């Protein structure tokens, strides 16, 4: 797409080592030659992509003058990075982990940096992946050596402070054989217009365990167009989770690729839309090896005139005998004007598999509400208890348990707002 702002010159101005600079410019040139997607494309069906006007946004050229860092999202993280408008402004890591060879920081300084970027997303999933490749100012890497367990979560926090900013967070997580790490990534912005285009690449090497939770708490005028791509090798486990609470239009595509025998993938999400928000989730559970398993549980609530979209595909390739895959999406509508779309799909090329998908869109369960009200619970409290219980199943499964209390509080705040307008 031709853009006066997002050009090869803009990408070149970001600098970096020669290999990164060449990658930036190539991606920017490919972006300039590519059209933006449209709703006519199946993968963008139901979306609001036609409303996107890139001329409203620009990359931020100067580091923020105010580098005040708020308290961490969780207590005592193993490591913490804070980025403001795409600039890394604060970093810390437990010295014992650094001594054990764990790396958390700018990707350009990571071991094997030139091989990390694009190691999972070998081809861009869409034109926005090209934008991220071109304009990600400070890609971040987390590398955990063989056999090392990181007991506490690694926390990465993104803050968008400048109005009209376009930021392109990039994170690569590499867990070597038998390593164990959990990552919490949080996205926040103010009420000004902004565009956030994040990409996460995850590699779980043989017998490794990786948990990732992305929490989207962006302002009501911010757009998010993100992708998470995870690769699970033999006997490894990868758990990718998302919480969608803010934003104007916020979309996350998650690809979980099970490429090694015995690999396990778990995908979980909770989301709560209000106002005129649209929360859009696309998932791909790709079984490309024998004896792999995947489970997906996405639960959402839509209120006011908000909307949600879930579209998921379980793909079982010819050689993936012994696959066990489950896909579940459930939605509650708190308002007659709210809208939720749920489209699960299967694509199976092997008969020796067990695959199942379930989806539902409905108002509050009348039986549950009646049960509570018949025992003296006021109607508003009964509704609140049903919604809280609805989300409990996902909260209990999150790969970063340290985030559960804060997320439960965010859900409670959404319910407070819902009750306040009744």
What is the spatial distance between Cα 153 and Cα 156, in angstroms, rounded to a whole number? 10
Q: Pinpoint the alpha helices (H) of 335-403.
A: 366-373, 379-397
Closest CA to 338 of 369, 368, 300: 300
**394 neighbors 404 (Cβ within 8 angstroms):** no
Q: What is the pLDDT along the chain (422 residues), one digit of tens a residue?
A: 667 789 999 999 999 999 999 999 999 999 999 999 999 998 899 999 999 999 999 999 888 877 667 777 888 999 999 999 999 999 999 999 999 999 999 999 999 999 999 999 999 999 999 999 999 999 999 999 999 999 999 999 999 999 999 999 999 999 999 999 999 999 999 999 999 999 999 999 999 999 999 999 999 999 999 999 999 999 999 999 999 999 999 999 999 999 999 999 999 999 999 999 999 999 999 999 999 999 999 999 999 999 999 999 999 999 999 999 999 999 999 999 999 999 999 999 999 999 999 999 999 888 887 778 888 888 788 888 999 999 999 999 999 999 999 999 999 999 988 865 44
Question: Would you state the pLDDT for residue 64?
Answer: 84
Report which of 252, 133, 250 is spatially closest to residue 195, judged by C-alpha positions.
250
Burial 126-141 (b: 16+ CB within 10 A, else e): bbbbbbbbbbbbbbbb
Q: Is the dihedral of CA 397, 73, 141, 219 positive or negative?
A: positive
Residue 268 lies in a domain: yes
**Residue 225 · residue 251 · CB < 8 Å:** yes
Q: Dihedral, CA atoms, 105, 106, 112, 118, nearest 10 degrees?
A: 110
Q: How many residues does the chain have?
A: 422
Q: Are 160 and 196 in contact (CB under 8 A)?
A: yes
Distance of CA 416 to the CA centre of its chain: 25
Does a structural domain hold residue 379?
no
Q: b vs e for 197-206, b when ≥16 Cβ sit within 10 Å of the residue's Cβ?
A: bbbbbbbbbb
Look at residue 370 in the predicted model and tell me its pLDDT.
Answer: 76
* d(C-alpha 198, C-alpha 284), whole Å: 18
Confirm if 320 and 350 have CB atoms less than 8 A apart.
yes
For residue 345, what pLDDT is reported? Answer: 94
Phi, psi (deg, nearest 5) at residue 11:
-65, -45
Residue 132 located in a structural domain: yes
Domain membership of residue 312 (yes or no) is: yes
Residue 403 lies in a domain: no
What pLDDT is stored for residue 186 in this prediction?
98
Q: What is the pLDDT of residue 73?
A: 80
Q: From the centroid of its chain, how far is CA 21?
A: 26
The C-alpha atoms of residue 11 and residue 15 are separated, in whole angstroms, by 8
Residue 114's nearest CA partner among 202, 21, 201, 26 is: 21
Cα distances from 282 to residues 225, 275, 288, 389, in angstroms, run: 11, 22, 19, 25
CA angle, corner 231, sides to 24 and 98, nearest 5?
A: 75
Q: Is residue 404 part of a domain?
A: no
Residue 194, pLDDT score: 98
- Give the integer Cα–Cα distance in Å for 229 and 350: 24
The rounded distance, in Å, linking the Cα atoms of 139 and 20 is 10
Q: What are phi and psi of 33, to 5 degrees?
A: -95, 0
pLDDT at 355: 96
Q: Specify if 402 maps to a domain.
A: no
Q: Per the structure, how many domains does the chain have?
A: 1
pLDDT of amino acid 2: 61
Q: Is residue 65 part of a domain?
A: yes
Tell me the pTM: 0.96
Domain of residue 230 covers 8-363
Q: Give residue 277's pLDDT.
A: 98
Query: H or E stretch including 120?
Result: none
């Amino acid at each position: 797409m031709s853009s006066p702002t997002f050009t090869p010159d803009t990408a070149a101005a970001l600098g970096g080592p020669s290999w990164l600079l060449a990658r930036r410019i190539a991606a920017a040139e490919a972006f300039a030659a590519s059209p933006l997607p449209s709703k006519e494309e199946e993968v963008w069906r139901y979306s609001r992509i036609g409303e996107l006007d890139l001329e409203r946004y620009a990359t931020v050229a100067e580091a923020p003058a105010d580098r005040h860092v708020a308290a961490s999202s969780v207590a005592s993280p193993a490591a913490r990075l804070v980025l403001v408008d795409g600039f890394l402004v604060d970093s810390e890591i437990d010295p014992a982990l650094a001594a054990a060879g764990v790396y958390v920081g700018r990707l350009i300084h990571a071991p094997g940096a030139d091989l990390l970027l694009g190691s999972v997303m070998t081809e861009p999933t869409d034109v926005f992946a090209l934008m991220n490749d071109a304009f990600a100012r400070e890609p971040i890497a987390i590398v955990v050596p063989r056999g090392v367990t990181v007991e506490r979560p690694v926390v990465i926090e993104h803050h968008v402070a400048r109005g009209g900013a376009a930021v392109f967070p990039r994170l690569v997580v590499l867990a070597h054989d038998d390593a164990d790490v959990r990552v919490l990534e949080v996205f926040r912005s103010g009420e000004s217009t902004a565009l956030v285009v994040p990409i996460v690449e995850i590699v779980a090497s043989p017998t490794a365990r990786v948990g990732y939770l992305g929490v989207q708490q962006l302002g009501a005028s911010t757009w998010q167009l993100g992708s998470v791509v995870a690769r699970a090798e033999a006997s490894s486990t990868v758990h990718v989770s998302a919480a969608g609470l803010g934003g104007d239009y916020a979309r996350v595509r998650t690809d979980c690729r099970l490429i090694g025998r015995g690999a396990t993938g778990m995908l979980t999400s909770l989301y709560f839309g209000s106002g005129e928000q649209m929360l859009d989730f696309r998932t791909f559970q790709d079984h490309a090896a024998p004896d792999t398993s995947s489970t997906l549980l996405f639960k959402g609530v839509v209120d006011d005139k908000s909307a949600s979209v879930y579209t998921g595909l379980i793909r079982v390739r010819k050689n993936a005998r012994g696959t066990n895959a489950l896909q579940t999406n459930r939605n509650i509508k708190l308002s007659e004007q709210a809208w939720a779309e749920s489209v699960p799909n299967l694509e199976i090329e092997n008969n020796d598999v067990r695959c199942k998908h379930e989806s539902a869109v409905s108002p509050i369960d009348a039986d549950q509400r009646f049960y509570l009200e018949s025992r003296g619970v006021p109607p508003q409290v009964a509704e609140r208890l049903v919604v809280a219980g609805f989300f409990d199943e996902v909260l209990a499964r999150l790969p970063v348990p340290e985030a559960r209390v804060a997320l439960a509080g965010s859900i409670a705040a959404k319910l407070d707002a819902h009750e306040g307008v009744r």
